[in-house]
Amino acid sequence: MDWYKALAEKIYPLLTTNTGLSQLWTNDVSGAGYVGSVIKFRINDVDPDFINAELITNKVLPWKHSGNMPEARMATETVFNLGQQDAQTFVRFTHLNWRESSDFMAHCSAKWAVFILSLKDAAETAKGKPFPDDIQIEHS
């Protein structure tokens, strides 16, 4: 299936289930699936957690950062907006509420691009590139 032809009904479960998310970001995911759940992503010594703030089927998926994280990322949230037009789905991703622009924010932006490309691969081929097979970028 071509990315531009992937329907929201195919992309939505990749972003809302443990099985789907394990194809995108890291193969160690738990807690996805319902509003208020804490999605736990485990990547070596980094343990980002997100609260599922709302789920509007095939449309909106906002996550709020939760738990132990770098101070710069506290109170931020990520939102995936899915928009359907004809046989094409647009994934509009935003990472909101940063306190300031920083090198860490730039690193996170680049890493999100890696995971969005993994989403594309998962939608097209049913096989994304989650950690540890993701594109590695360094942050100093």
Q: Which tens digit of pLDDT belongs to each residue from 62-100?
A: 999 887 777 778 889 999 999 988 778 889 999 999 988
What's the CA gap between 117 and 74, in Å, rounded? 25
- Provide the β-strand partners of residue 35: none
Yes or no: say if 53 and 77 are a contact pair by the CB < 8 Å rule. Answer: yes
Q: Which domains does the chain have, with CATH numbers?
A: 3-125 (3.30.530.20)
pTM of the prediction? 0.87
> Is the bond preceding 13 in cis, omega lying within 30 degrees of 0?
no
Beta strands in the chain (DSSP E): 29-30, 38-41, 49-52, 60-66, 77-85, 88-96
Q: Which tens digit of pLDDT belongs to each residue from 1-55?
A: 444 457 888 899 999 999 999 999 899 999 998 999 999 999 887 788 999 999 9
